[in-house]
Every structure is written in C-alpha cells, then in structure tokens.
C-alpha cells in the first residue's frame, strides 16, 4: 500500500531536525562460520556508546529475500514504495551528474570493463580507473561516436569506471535488458527488447551496435576496452519530500547516482569540498548548512565499494573511519538521528545481498533497549524489532513531532 497520500495529510512543519545517515552496503557476513561480521569486527567506541542510549532494530530495505539495488534501497528509506516508484540506474546517474536528460530521452548507466582476447569479461570495473582516466576515454568516445541509426549519442563521465550515455531520438524505449552479465569469465550480454514494440526493438538494436562501436574505438586500450550497460531508463516523475512530508530537505553525497536519487525526490544537493567521498568535506557541508534545512540525508559510499571488492579488512576500516566522525555529527544535536544502510554488501559475497541491515534510532521518547552495539546481532535484540525500509520515514517524522494523529 502506498502510504504517501496518508502521510501527506498527517505531516506538519516543525523546527525539529532529522539527520539520516546511510552507510551504503553496511550489512555483512562472517568470513568464516561463527566469525564476526565487518560491523562486529570493527572498533567502534562512539557507535557503541550511542547504541547504549538509542533504540535499535533490523531493517529489510525492500522485501525479504530480495537483494536490492541502491535505487530501490534508497527510495524505500525515503518512504517511497519501491515496487510503485520505479527508476532505472541510468536515470539516477544522468540526473546526478547534471546531464542534459529530457522527456523522451533514454539514459544508460555504463561500466567500463576489461575484455580478454576472446571477448570475455575479465574485470567488470576495468580496475576502477581514476576519474581523469575516465574522462580521457569518454573524450575518445565523444569524438568517435555521435550518432547511430539516426539516434543522437552523448557520453558523460560519472566516476571511476562509471559513465552515462544519453540516447535522443524518435521511437526509443526503456524496455530493454542490461548487457552487464554481473560476473566475469563470460561475454557481455546482448541487449534484448522486453516488449514486442518497435521502440523496444529499436533501442535494443542501437545499444548492441553501441557496444560494438565502443569495442572498436577502444581496441587499442590496455585495460578499458569494453562497456557493460545497466539501468536503461527514461526520466521519471516523483512526489517531492517538501510536498509529502513538509520538509526542507538536503542531500550530502559524492557519487552522482545518490545525488540523482535525492534530486528526484526534491532534496537540494549540497556542494561537498575535497576528493570523491571525502568524509571531512561531507561533515563540513553538514555543519555549514545546519541552520538552513530540517532534514539531511548524509551518504557514505565506501562501506559498499569495499564490500563489492571483497575486502573485509578495508570495509572494517571504513566503518571505523565513520565512527571517528560520529562525535562531530552528535555535536550538532539533531532532534532525531538514524543510522542504517540501503542494503547489505558482505565482503564474502562481493555483491549486494538480501540480508537485513541494522538500524539505530536516537531521539526522544525511546523505550529501554537491550542492544549494546551497532551490529547485526545486537540490532536483532533491539526494541524497534524488524522493519521494512518504507516504515522508516514515518518513524523519523513521529519522533521529530512532525506527524499528527491518524483518525478520530
């Protein structure tokens, strides 16, 4: 059931401030049976102290058994039913980087990849190149590929191995499958039309030709010599947080996809100083803008990317780095603070998983809670129980005094 119309009727503007911290992919698994997860292995004295004064629980971002992408995982945290409010990864990235993306266009999220001599995927992320290297390769593609079968093709750098393609022309559709096989040792997939429409078939044909042309143009590159496409999507339209929740919301994130998500639901994306995903720059942006907004979405990416890389120790380290920043967040004295993830990314799986993530809620009117740390096992003991992602925003609003009584 879509709760947004009901929440819209009950929500009210108040001066209280909510801070939602999303540690991307923070949930994990033990490396060996009976061992600790990444959260349990981390030394987190500040999180531990906060947990002992907070309420904890487990949160299933989308649905039990489903490993969500970051799009539906985040939309759920923002209170949008991810089965109704659908958005492709390409649209999120395009909006996040500020690409020219109009109604009728199709946006495609690309991964630069390394293909071996047989055309099999050797590395889905081409060694995670620098942004500067990405821009160099994108410039080559811009010069070589501008139109295919009457469709205008525009390339944009996103970050590291990620790039965006905007297709513009008559008769395009988002109803096309991905070409990313999501594993190595196999060839890239062919884009397939999801419907029998002429638009779907044409878009699939253009994408397959684009894959061929990219391989031809980059044939002399030692590492970035192919591309994998994901999230083919048109531009969506969503209700805004300001309209539904009566919030003045802001986003602090580095990666374009998360900026795109925030923009779609009406958050103002704040400027972050420093290198990509620099936590100090994010804290500074939060401090400098604290008086201007009443809802902040603060995103940290590296707990996810280290999990995708299968690096248990480095994911532990990124969790510990966040713990060191936590006192600066608490010094702002948010009325309600929530810390959670948009999905789990266990290092042992090197991928998003279906496992619930821990949720910490700090604010007024909390019940006694048995959880003593911000870990999966401790969160299971907490007084919040087990929630779905879409249930988080009403809880935050209620604790912040922003929800009126429902019914007589």
As assigned by CATH, the class of the 92-233 domain is alpha beta
Distance CA 388, CA 58 (A): 9
Q: How confident is the model at residue 275 (pLDDT cuts 50, 70, 90)?
A: low
pLDDT digits (tens, 9 = 90+) for 349-393: 999 999 999 999 999 999 989 999 999 999 999 999 999 999 999
Query: Does the pLDDT value for residue 248 go beyond 80?
Result: yes
Residue 6: Cβ within 10 Å count: 12
pLDDT digits (tens, 9 = 90+) for 94-151: 988 889 998 899 999 999 999 999 999 999 999 999 999 999 999 999 999 999 999 9
For the chain, report the end-to-end CA distance as a whole number of angstroms: 21
Residue 23: closest CA among 329, 241, 236: 329
Distance CA 59, CA 168 (A): 39
Query: Does the pLDDT value for residue 244 go beyond 80?
Result: yes
Q: How confident is the model at residue 168 (pLDDT cuts 50, 70, 90)?
A: very high
Q: Is 250 helix (H, G, I), strand (E, B) or coil?
A: strand
Residue 94: closest CA among 287, 279, 232, 248: 232
When pLDDT is averaged across residues 167-189 and rounded to a whole number, the result is 96
Cβ proximity of 23 and 316 under 8 Å? no
Question: Residue 52 has what DSSP assignment?
Answer: T
Task: Tell me the pairing of strands 55-60 and 357-362.
Answer: antiparallel
When pLDDT is averaged across residues 51-64 and rounded to a whole number, the result is 97
When pLDDT is averaged across residues 72-95 and rounded to a whole number, the result is 92
Q: Which run of H or of E encompasses 387?
A: strand 385-388
Distance CA 195, CA 303 (A): 37
Q: How confident is the model at residue 217 (pLDDT cuts 50, 70, 90)?
A: very high
Q: Is 76 helix (H, G, I), strand (E, B) or coil?
A: helix
pLDDT digits (tens, 9 = 90+) for 298-327: 999 999 999 999 999 999 999 999 999 999
What is the number of H-type helices and E-type strands within the chain? 14, 14
Provide the residue ranges of all domains of the chain, joining segments of one domain with +. 4-85+238-399, 92-233
| Burial class (CB within 10 angstroms; exposed 0-12, middle 13-18, buried 19+) of 355 | buried
CATH of domain 4-85+238-399: 3.40.720.10
The encoded tokens of residue 378 equal: 């401790």
Q: How confident is the model at residue 158 (pLDDT cuts 50, 70, 90)?
A: very high
Chain-wide mean pLDDT for the chain?
95
What pLDDT, on a 0 to 100 scale, did the predictor assign at position 256?
82
CA max distance for the chain: 71
φ, ψ at 156 (rounded to 5°): -140, 140
Q: How confident is the model at residue 278 (pLDDT cuts 50, 70, 90)?
A: confident
The encoded tokens of residue 383 equal: 């007084």
Distance CA 138, CA 98 (A): 16
Q: How confident is the model at residue 276 (pLDDT cuts 50, 70, 90)?
A: low
Question: Residue 193 has what DSSP assignment?
Answer: B
């Amino acid at each position: 059931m879509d709760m947004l119309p009901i929440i819209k009727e009950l929500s009210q503007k108040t001066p209280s401030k909510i801070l939602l911290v999303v540690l991307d992919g923070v949930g994990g698994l033990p490396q060996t049976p009976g061992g600790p997860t990444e959260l349990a292995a981390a030394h987190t004295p500040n999180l531990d102290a906060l947990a002992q004064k907070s309420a904890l629980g487990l949160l299933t971002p989308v649905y039990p058994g489903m490993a969500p992408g970051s799009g539906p995982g985040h939309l759920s945290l923002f209170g949008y039913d991810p089965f109704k409010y659908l958005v492709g990864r390409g649209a999120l990235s395009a909006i996040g980087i500020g690409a020219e993306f109009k109604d009728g266009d199709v946006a495609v999220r690309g991964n630069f990849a390394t293909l071996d001599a047989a055309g099999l995927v050797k590395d889905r992320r081409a060694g995670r190149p620098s942004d500067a290297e990405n821009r160099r390769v994108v410039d080559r593609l811009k010069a070589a590929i501008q139109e295919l079968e009457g469709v205008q093709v525009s390339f944009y750098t996103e970050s590291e191995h990620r790039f965006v393609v905007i297709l513009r022309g008559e008769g395009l559709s988002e109803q096309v499958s991905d070409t990313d096989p999501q594993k190595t040792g196999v060839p890239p997939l062919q884009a397939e039309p999801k419907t029998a429409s002429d638009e779907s078939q044409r878009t699939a044909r253009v994408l397959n030709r684009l894959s061929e042309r990219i391989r031809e143009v980059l044939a002399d590159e030692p590492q970035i010599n192919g591309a994998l496409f994901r999230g083919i999507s048109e531009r969506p339209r969503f209700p805004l947080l300001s309209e539904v929740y009566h919030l003045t919301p802001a986003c602090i994130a580095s990666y374009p996809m998360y900026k795109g998500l925030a923009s779609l639901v009406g958050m103002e994306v704040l400027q972050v100083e420093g290198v990509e995903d620099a936590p100090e720059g994010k804290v500074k942006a939060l401090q400098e803008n604290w008086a201007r907004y009443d809802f902040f979405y603060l995103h940290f990416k590296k707990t996810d990317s280290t999990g995708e890389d299968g690096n248990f120790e480095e994911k532990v380290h990124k969790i510990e780095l966040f713990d060191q920043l936590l006192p600066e967040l608490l010094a702002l004295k948010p009325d309600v603070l929530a810390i959670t993830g948009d999905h789990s990314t266990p290092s042992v799986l090197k991928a998003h998983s279906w496992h619930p993530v821990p949720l910490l809620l700090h604010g007024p009117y909390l019940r006694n809670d048995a959880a003593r740390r911000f870990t999966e096992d401790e969160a299971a003991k907490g007084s919040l129980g087990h929630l779905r992602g879409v249930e988080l925003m009403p809880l935050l609003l209620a604790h912040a005094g922003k929800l009126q009584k429902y019914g007589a």
